[in-house]
């Protein structure tokens, strides 16, 4: 059944940026709806341990942090919807934005777009097929839902995410091989040190991946990461963490004018190139909510 909803403000994306915006908008008494295609919390769900967010002196796991966000939204009775927005348009006659999903239509006067990032693919032979078969992943959250234990996992990448994912999965006694292109890891040295100290993690530098393959051995599927130097790394699962790109929703709306008028805001990792942090995203969410509220309420 098609739902046609009308709110003053629609926030798309319930990661830290969108949650912060929705919370601040609600504090102004505005009628806000928060839409996300996945669970509340966004990318932070994948973080092993968040140690730099104020108010948590002993740190907090990504999953727990997401529960806190959910609790905060519930406490303030913020309307949340699980839905994927596939297109944005502008209805001139009604002076409103329209966010469409496959089934529903959300109409609003102002719009916060906090859709974060999407994982970069390597686009190598075998990659898509393994991904479709649930053997290759781009984020660990879905793997952790299935309670992976004692598995061989090959992680490709050398940034913060690759090392953080490795430490996260090694905590469950999985055997991790981090495969990197060079020896110059892009990750925070602290994470590299923790990975190096773990007996469950091996780092294999200077490897350029050529393709992925799978073979069946006694009812078991084994994955093979083939490198250009003819190495073959065998694993039960593969996790690709080679960077993330902005995740824009298709739209023909010329947003510049509306951004200047404080009716539309793009916030969070979506617009932050190298400075992707929860505090930065949530700060941007709060600031954009203040600007939108000033505009709507004329304060």
Ligand X SMILES: Cc1cc2nc3c(=O)[nH]c(=O)nc-3n(C[C@H](O)[C@H](O)[C@H](O)COP(=O)(O)OP(=O)(O)OC[C@H]3O[C@@H](n4cnc5c(N)ncnc54)[C@H](O)[C@@H]3O)c2cc1C
229 forms part of the interface with ligand X (CB under 6 A): no
- Per the document, the length of the chain is 299
- Taking contact as CB under 6 A, which single stretch among the options 12-20, 146-154, 209-217, 255-263 is the one that binds ligand X? 12-20
44 forms part of the interface with ligand X (CB under 6 A): yes
- Taking contact as CB under 6 A, which single stretch among the options 158-166, 198-206, 231-239, 251-259 is the one that binds ligand X? 158-166
Residue closer to ligand X by CB (options 37, 181) is 37
Give the binding-site size for ligand X (rule: CB under 6 A). Answer: 39
47 forms part of the interface with ligand X (CB under 6 A): yes
277 forms part of the interface with ligand X (CB under 6 A): yes
85 forms part of the interface with ligand X (CB under 6 A): yes
The dihedral through the CA atoms of 25, 27, 31, 36 has a sign that is positive
Instruction: Quote the CA–CA distance of 215 and 66 in Å, as a whole number.
Output: 37
7 forms part of the interface with ligand X (CB under 6 A): no
Please pick, from the candidates 21, 233, 281, 292, the single residue that binds ligand X as defined by CB under 6 A.
Answer: 281
53 forms part of the interface with ligand X (CB under 6 A): yes
- Taking contact as CB under 6 A, which single stretch among the options 145-153, 194-202, 224-232, 269-277 is the one that binds ligand X? 269-277
13 forms part of the interface with ligand X (CB under 6 A): yes
Q: Note the Cα 281 to chain centre separation in Å.
A: 12
Pick from 100, 113, 118, 117: which is nearest to 21 by CA? 113
Please pick, from the candidates 112, 161, 176, 296, the single residue that binds ligand X as defined by CB under 6 A.
Answer: 161
Using DSSP, state whether 154 is helix, strand or coil.
strand
**Do the Cβ atoms of 86 and 101 come closer than 8 Å?**
yes
268 forms part of the interface with ligand X (CB under 6 A): yes
Instruction: Quote the CA–CA distance of 64 and 45 in Å, as a whole number.
Output: 8
* Whole-Å CA distances, 107 to 27, 31, 152, 181: 21, 12, 47, 46
* Whole-Å CA distances, 40 to 17, 74, 294: 11, 11, 27
Please pick, from the candidates 104, 227, 251, 279, the single residue that binds ligand X as defined by CB under 6 A.
Answer: 279
Instruction: Quote the CA–CA distance of 18 and 187 in Å, as a whole number.
Output: 26
Give me the residues that bind ligand X (CB under 6 A), please.
12-18, 35-38, 42-44, 46-47, 50-53, 84-85, 114-117, 161, 164-165, 247, 249, 268-270, 276-279, 281
């Amino acid at each position: 059944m098609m739902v046609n909803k009308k709110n003053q403000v629609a926030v798309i994306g319930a990661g830290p940026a969108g949650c912060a915006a929705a919370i601040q908008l609600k504090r102004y008494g505005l009628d806000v709806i928060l839409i996300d295609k996945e669970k509340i919390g966004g990318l932070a769900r994948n973080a092993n341990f968040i140690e730099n967010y104020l108010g948590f002196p002993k740190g907090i796991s990504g999953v727990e942090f997401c529960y806190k966000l959910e609790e905060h939204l519930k406490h303030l009775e913020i309307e949340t919807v699980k839905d994927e927005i596939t297109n944005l348009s502008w209805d001139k006659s009604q002076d409103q934005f329209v966010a469409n999903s496959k089934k529903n239509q959300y109409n609003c006067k102002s719009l916060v777009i906090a859709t974060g990032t999407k994982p970069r693919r390597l686009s190598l032979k075998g990659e898509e097929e393994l991904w479709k078969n649930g053997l290759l992943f781009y984020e660990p959250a879905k793997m952790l839902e299935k309670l992976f234990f004692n598995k061989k996992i090959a992680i490709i990448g050398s940034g913060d995410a690759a090392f953080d994912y490795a430490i996260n999965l090694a905590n469950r006694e999985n055997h991790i091989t981090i495969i990197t292109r060079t020896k110059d890891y892009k990750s925070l040295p602290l994470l590299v040190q923790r990975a190096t100290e773990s007996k469950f993690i091996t780092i294999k530098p200077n490897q350029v991946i050529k393709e992925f393959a799978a073979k069946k051995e006694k009812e078991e599927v084994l994955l093979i990461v083939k490198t250009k130097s003819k190495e073959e790394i065998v694993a039960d699962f593969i996790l690709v963490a080679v960077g993330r790109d902005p995740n824009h929703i298709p739209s023909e709306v010329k947003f510049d004018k509306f951004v200047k008028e404080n009716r539309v805001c793009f916030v969070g990792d979506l617009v932050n190139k190298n400075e992707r942090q929860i505090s930065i995203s949530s700060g941007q969410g709060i600031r954009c909510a203040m600007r939108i509220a000033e505009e709507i309420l004329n304060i």
